[in-house]
Amino acid sequence: MRTIEMNNGVVKLIDQRKLPRQLEIVECRDYRAVARAIKEMTIRGAPAIGAAAAFGLALAARESKAATRDELLRDLDAAAQALRATRPTAVNLAWALDRVMRQARTTDLDTHGLRDFVVAEAQRIADEDVEINRAMARHGAALINDGDTILHHCNTGPLATVDIGTALGCIIEAHRQGKRVHVLVDETRPRLQGARLTAWELMQYGVPMTLIADNAAGYYMRTGRAQKCFVGSDRVAANGDVANKIGTYKVAVVARENGIPFYAVMPTSTIDMNLANGDLIPIEERDAREVTHIEGVPIAPAGVRVGNPAFDVTPHKYVTALVTERGVVRPPFVENLRVILKQ
């Protein structure tokens, strides 16, 4: 199945917290359940939570008891506000909500027709994500040479999207093309998305990989055992600064020091031209228990002070290129992002 899908008024999604030990499907029957799933990282990955937010609005449209169009729009606005508040960094969430609400307001449909329209628009967003990922995979695979070992941080495979994946999708596509690739998978503390999710996905596809501790990445790059770095992104500023899972900045700096290309892969919906630079991107601070506990087991002294930013920002000077569904964007990003977004 896809990471997330909607059938007969129920949104079904893979519980990413349970992998790799258990493949469990969660059913959401109202937008509040979808909001909890996003907040609690039952579903995660910028494109995936964008689709989830859209499906949340679809559920809100179906459950609303509104008798008039204006009442229905008010109910949708309330649901959108709740969904928007779940995670602040990934721009795809707000992008999907804004797209559905903007188009809902511009239609002249009656209440019944508007409900159906919102459901259909959410499905379009999900279907488009799959096609977008296929295009990104082709563009990104062209940057990968036969024999490359690729360092990958966090999780950017099918689980992070509706299907296919972003950065990991490029790697899987290169493998499908017959290129001999090997992936160094950062474990990605504190939630271990690399160890739990990326490793599991690559093993499903038969892509050769080695799981490494985050702190080992520099060792592999300095000793010439990695030829490229591929990561995803949760938001890209207008100047090409990239917000991604915490630890990405460190990978990019070490890659630059060792002359290793660093590629960030994302759909154009992740590019936020309203923000001039990455310093303006809001960074989510998450629960201290993610750092002090692993699988519920404490690993730090009780009462210790904890900082747990979920993301960091990689300045554009460390980014070799951005890979999108419309092609590969190289510096200068300020000019070239504007060009590609007009295509």
Tokens of 132: 């977008």
* SS3 of the chain: CCCEEEECCEEEEECCCCCCCCCCEEEECCHHHHHHHHHCCCCCCHHHHHHHHHHHHHHHHHHCCCCCHHHHHHHHHHHHHHHHCCCCCCHHHHHHHHHHHHHHHHCCCCHHHHHHHHHHHHHHHHHHHHHHHHHHHHHHHCCCCCCCEEEECCCCCHHHCCCCCCHHHHHHHHHHCCCCCEEEEECCCCCCHHHHHHHHHHHHHCCCEEEECHHHHHHHHHCCCCCEEEECCCEEECCCCEEEECCHHHHHHHHHHCCCCEEEECCHHHEECCCCCHHHCCCCECCCHHHHEECCEECCCCCCCCCCECEEEECHHHCCEEEECCEEECCCHHHHHHHHHCC
Q: Considering 214, 234, 241, 312, which one is annotated as catalytic?
A: 234
User: Is position 70 annotated as part of the catalytic site?
Assistant: no
Distance between first and last Cα of the chain: 32
Where in the sequence numbering do the catalytic residues fall?
A: 234
